[in-house]
Structure 1
Amino acid sequence: MSGAVARIPVSAVDRELQRLTRSADRGVLWSAIALLLASKKGATRRAALRGTVSVAGASLAVNVVLKSLFARRRPAAELLPPARRLVKVPTSSSFPSGHSAAAAAFVTAVAMESPRTAVVLAPLAATVAYSRVHTGVHWGSDVIVGATVGAGVALATQRWWPIRESDEAAAHLVREVPALVEGKGLVIVVNPVSGDNDYDPTDDVTRALPAATVLRTEPGRDAVEQLEEALAARTEEALAVGAAGGDGTIAAAATVALRHRLPLVVVPTGTLNHFARDLGVYDLTEVVDATGAGEAVVVDIASVELETGAGTRTHHLINTSSLGAYPDLVRLREKWQGRWGKWPAFAAALVVMLRRAEPIRIRMDADWHDVWFIFVGNGWYRPHGAVPAFRSRLDSRLLDIRWVRADLRFSRTRAALALALGAIGSSKVYQERQVPELIVELDAPEAVAADGEVLGEARRLRFFVAGQIAAYRRDEDNPRWAARERPHHRRPLAIFRAVARRD
């Protein structure tokens, strides 16, 4: 390959390839592109972060490990025309190519998060790799092996940092659900302070669903109480209840939906929108389509029953609940994920939490255990044996229970190492199970969190699947929606606003 490249006639392309290959020294080119991608929230920011991590890993594998193991001379400079040679020739081992490894690592990582962006970057990465042969500093085999290593490093990041392969969790279709044409029969509460502080979705929801009864949350007043009052005041029977807001507002509407056996309408206008993402509802257009056509799926609603000194009370939850240090972990993750991405932030928060936390003593199945925290998911979360990332089904009628043991020697260190190696699922400190009900007793009152909110302290808890309701979701197999472009599941709230205002 090097001989064939050396016989290519000198042209203006030589100078451009020299500039390009120098721009990729020490990953400068990919760092600049990563900064550009990171300027916008959503898939491109995650792609930038995964790409940067992958380039760092590939550079370590190639420049520190492989080049130390395999000594290989560079191609002879005299084989090339003088105009094509680099002025500063690298002195390290030729095998494998670090530039090619970084290029392949970056574009592969970007493809995992944002395939469309990777299509644009792939020709650039290939040109960088080729430029190493064109300028005479690498053999063809150096480039091929380097690119293979780089792509492998990027793909390996999935072991620690899972990628969601589907836009929505699986769930059984509901065959008979009321069609809410223009929102007729719907009572929906809008939380104007959820998500973006500069955006109030009330007007957009009202325009998109003009026949619906639209409420606004009131400071200091429970959204469940508002919905109940509106239902009681109606002269016509309500056909569905809904909420536009974050997971807390959606949980309030789900509570009322379960109580009155009504279907649920979800409009994602919060910051994270975990339930809406798992449900597969990403913008107001999909809400209008699904409600107008009467398309819905079955979803589980879980509950936690708290026994305190003042009595027993029940709280419904749509996503997760937690005990011990887990609420602090979530707060740290949410604080850092805007800069680092959700899963790197979660891993870092877990390490910090394990360092600071004090174990709690609980009793499950008649046995006492010392644990760092307990995670309870409404539904079966993925991936198994790792940090819970997303649900695979919405109607499993199961709770996903995960905890980290504190009763083993060096449990903090073992958990941190297992996490770093992507092997937390095979570590003895990590436990998980899927059950329809869980009763937890504590030797001292502990704070309980659900769907991101602290519910209070309790000494005995009962987690269970309270029931199932229908939640409106557009059936993507319906031919009538074939011409509709579905936004990618990682798009930011700005896309929601744009689509909502368009309607």
Structure 2
Amino acid sequence: MFDAVARARPIADPLLPRLTHAADHGLLWWGVAGLLGVTRGRRRRAAGRGLLALGLASAVTNGPAKAIFRRGRPATHAVPLVRRPRRDHSTFSFPSGHSASAAAFATAVALDAPGAAVPVGALASLVAFSRVYVGVHYPSDVVAGAALGAACAFATTKVLPRRSWAPARGRPAPAEVSSLPEGDGLVVVVNESSGAGARFGQPSGVAAPIRSLLPLAKVIEVGPGDDLEAALDDAAASARVLGVAGGDGTVNAAAERALAHGLPLAIFPTGTLNHFAADLGLGAGIVGIADTVRALREGSAVAVDVGRFDGTRPEGTSFDGVFLNTASVGGYAHLVAVRERLEKRLGKWPAMVVALSWVLRNEPPIDVTIIADEPLVGTRPPTPVGPTRPRLARPAGARRAASGERRRLWLAFVGNGIYHPPGFAPTYRERLDERMLDLRLVDGTVPLARTRLVAAVLTGRLRRTPVYEQRAATRIEITAVAAARGRARGRVPSMPFARDGEVTGRARRLMITPNGARLVVFRPR
């Protein structure tokens, strides 16, 4: 087969030699990942998985695989000179590293973004064929490399499980929710500071399409120097339906006003990540605007759970609020901030690993007591991950933990609803109507806790490490406790607290529960 390709008439000179050179060191796939990364949703996640698979395939192929088989390169005297590469290859031939990288990246992209699988797969196939065409590999090298690369792509699902893109389940909305074909009664507050473009002084540009699609709606644009909270208060006081355009933090603020005034909420997701909108099934950018407009015209809405927290600050003052996605204490808030800064360049999963390593190295553990109420028998809690600690929650059927357990933690995560996957990178929810909290803890007392946690995340063995725990709860109470050194100095114990990715200061005590009232949100049928 190699001889037949070598003696064949020119097929794609000089395209294939240039293509095979562009794939050296994975540079071609880094470029494709960059193009996918500028989009949102599935393709951005696919780019991150593709780079992870690319790195794994390159390490396995160019390391142990070539060293084991040690096959020499084919003779190139029959290959036309115009096709041959400019440099001689001193490495072994079996399996093909270029083919492994191409197949790993293409397969990984197909796992998360089937719509991009055809063009990326076609490009990968051309790269694999070009290795035979330019005379540096036998066909069996290419086939073996492609098989190894595909296997590496599937191996990434052990540490980065595939997410479901189906909308999360919600309760049917009340019958009084009506359609707004022209937007009459809708007041939309647009946060021009949301989204990636705001970092470069660019407005979101969503006010114009909203006005065009919903001509009777009132649209209020809030710039960087304006008071977003006051604009939301004014909008809620005069609206029949409160609308908001922004990211998760902006949507959180609007949800508080919608609950306080008993209003349905229309979300136009224009932030960077839009976690809550993604779980609702709304697209990002202009797609998300179209989804919400369609839902308003149809009068289609669902009722979803909202988490609630009541806390006490170190100085003794009380505070409260709601959260749509997550609340956290300890280093999780800093972890999210570091990850968001890095994930556009590295992808979400590599950024998560780097952020985790940074937080565990620089963030001190916190001393707390925890009381967690388990769900009643007959509810649907997730399978516990990590070691079972009976003192934190009684066996199934118990209503409350008997007393608070003293713990030293690196961080604690509380999700509004049960998040998936069950590992360390919670990504999506299948339901928004089960009135349960997802509690995840990273223990700070286990020997070599930080090293063991990072190793477990990288190897997909989080279920077996004693550092990490996960369980469902219906009420969680966390109280900061002074360490021995703090008691000696008379310090008031406190812990960093964040909700929906926004750091809100420090707290001495927190009570977290599902909110009694459900939030009504528009989304298409």
Q: How far 1:167 sits from its partner (Å)?
A: 4.9
CA distance in 1: counterparts of 2:17 and 2:219, whole angstroms: 62
User: Match for residue 194 of structure 1?
Assistant: 194
CA distance in 2: counterparts of 1:288 and 1:333, whole angstroms: 32
Residues 470-490 of structure 1 deviation map (CA, whole Å, 9 limit, x = unaligned):
210001xxxxxxxxxxxxxxx
Task: Work out which of the residue numbers 215, 220, 237 in structure 2 matches 1:210.
Answer: 215
User: Match for residue 523 of structure 2?
Assistant: 473
Q: How far 1:364 sits from its partner (Å)?
A: 1.4
CA distance in 2: counterparts of 1:321 and 1:249, whole angstroms: 15
User: Would you say 1:271 and 2:269 are equivalent positions?
Assistant: no
User: Match for residue 255 of structure 1?
Assistant: 256
Farther-moved stretch of structure 1 (144-153 vs 244-253): 244-253
CA distance in 2: counterparts of 1:20 and 1:107, whole angstroms: 16
Q: How far 1:41 sits from its partner (Å)?
A: 6.8
- Equivalence map 1:292-331=2 (5 Å): 292-308=297-313, 309-331=315-337
User: Would you say 1:367 and 2:405 are equivalent positions?
Assistant: yes
Task: Work out which of the residue numbers 479, 484, 492 in structure 2 matches 1:441.
Answer: 479
The letter for the 2-side match of 1:185 is: G
Q: How far 1:85 sits from its partner (Å)?
A: 7.5
Contact 2:191 2:228 in 1 (8 A): no
- Equivalence map 1:365-444=2 (5 Å): 365=371, 366-443=404-481, 444=493
Contact 1:385 1:426 in 2 (8 A): no
Farther-moved stretch of structure 1 (136-145 vs 443-452): 136-145
The letter for the 2-side match of 1:186 is: L
The letter for the 2-side match of 1:92 is: T
User: Would you say 1:182 and 2:231 are equivalent positions?
Assistant: no
Please, which runs of 5 or more residues in structure 2 have no aligned partner?
A: 372-403, 482-492
Q: How far 1:329 sits from its partner (Å)?
A: 1.2
Farther-moved stretch of structure 1 (389-398 vs 209-218): 209-218
CA distance in 2: counterparts of 1:262 and 1:40, whole angstroms: 32
- Equivalence map 1:158-173=2 (5 Å): 158-173=157-172
Contact 1:77 1:85 in 2 (8 A): no
User: Match for residue 462 of structure 1?
Assistant: 511
CA distance in 2: counterparts of 1:150 and 1:389, whole angstroms: 26
CA distance in 2: counterparts of 1:150 and 1:108, whole angstroms: 8
CA distance in 1: counterparts of 2:243 and 2:262, whole angstroms: 13
Q: Counterpart of 1:266 in 2: which secondary structure?
A: strand
CA distance in 1: counterparts of 2:330 and 2:30, whole angstroms: 39
The letter for the 2-side match of 1:326 is: Y
Q: Counterpart of 2:182 in 1: which secondary structure?
A: helix
Q: How far 1:341 sits from its partner (Å)?
A: 2.4
Contact 1:437 1:462 in 2 (8 A): yes
Contact 2:61 2:95 in 1 (8 A): yes
Residue 330 to residue 26, structure 1, CA distance change in 2 (3 Å): closer
CA distance in 1: counterparts of 2:478 and 2:8, whole angstroms: 76
Contact 2:49 2:349 in 1 (8 A): no
The letter for the 1-side match of 2:262 is: R
The letter for the 2-side match of 1:367 is: E
Contact 2:255 2:265 in 1 (8 A): yes
Residue 82 to residue 215, structure 1, CA distance change in 2 (3 Å): closer
CA distance in 2: counterparts of 1:256 and 1:35, whole angstroms: 38
User: Match for residue 151 of structure 1?
Assistant: 150
Residue 203 to residue 77, structure 1, CA distance change in 2 (3 Å): closer
CA distance in 1: counterparts of 2:34 and 2:367, whole angstroms: 45
Q: How far 1:62 sits from its partner (Å)?
A: 0.9
* TM-score, structure 2 as length reference: 0.80
CA distance in 2: counterparts of 1:5 and 1:279, whole angstroms: 52
Residue 360 to residue 214, structure 1, CA distance change in 2 (3 Å): same
Q: How far 1:382 sits from its partner (Å)?
A: 1.2
Residue 259 to residue 139, structure 1, CA distance change in 2 (3 Å): same
User: Match for residue 286 of structure 1?
Assistant: 291
The letter for the 2-side match of 1:191 is: N
Q: Counterpart of 1:182 in 2: which secondary structure?
A: coil
User: Match for residue 70 of structure 1?
Assistant: 69
User: Would you say 1:57 and 2:56 are equivalent positions?
Assistant: yes
Q: How far 1:313 sits from its partner (Å)?
A: 2.8
Q: How far 1:213 sits from its partner (Å)?
A: 4.2
CA distance in 2: counterparts of 1:360 and 1:66, whole angstroms: 45
Q: How far 1:383 sits from its partner (Å)?
A: 0.6
Q: How far 1:4 sits from its partner (Å)?
A: 5.0
User: Match for residue 107 of structure 2?
Assistant: 108
Farther-moved stretch of structure 1 (60-69 vs 153-162): 153-162
CA distance in 2: counterparts of 1:250 and 1:38, whole angstroms: 24
User: Would you say 1:356 and 2:362 are equivalent positions?
Assistant: yes
Farther-moved stretch of structure 1 (64-73 vs 37-46): 37-46
Please, which runs of 5 or more residues in structure 1 have no aligned partner?
A: 476-503
Q: How far 1:335 sits from its partner (Å)?
A: 1.8
Contact 1:161 1:343 in 2 (8 A): yes
- Equivalence map 1:18-57=2 (5 Å): 18-34=17-33, 47-57=46-56
Residue 228 to residue 173, structure 1, CA distance change in 2 (3 Å): same
Contact 1:10 1:83 in 2 (8 A): no
User: Match for residue 385 of structure 2?
Assistant: none
Residue 278 to residue 31, structure 1, CA distance change in 2 (3 Å): closer
Farther-moved stretch of structure 1 (13-22 vs 242-251): 13-22
Residue 166 to residue 319, structure 1, CA distance change in 2 (3 Å): same
Residues 384-435 of structure 1 deviation map (CA, whole Å, 9 limit, x = unaligned):
0231122222222111111100011111111121122222233110011111
CA distance in 1: counterparts of 2:235 and 2:164, whole angstroms: 40
Contact 2:48 2:349 in 1 (8 A): no
CA distance in 2: counterparts of 1:389 and 1:117, whole angstroms: 21
State how many pairs are aligned: 468
CA distance in 2: counterparts of 1:143 and 1:21, whole angstroms: 13
Q: How far 1:191 sits from its partner (Å)?
A: 2.4
* TM-score, structure 1 as length reference: 0.84
User: Match for residue 337 of structure 1?
Assistant: 343
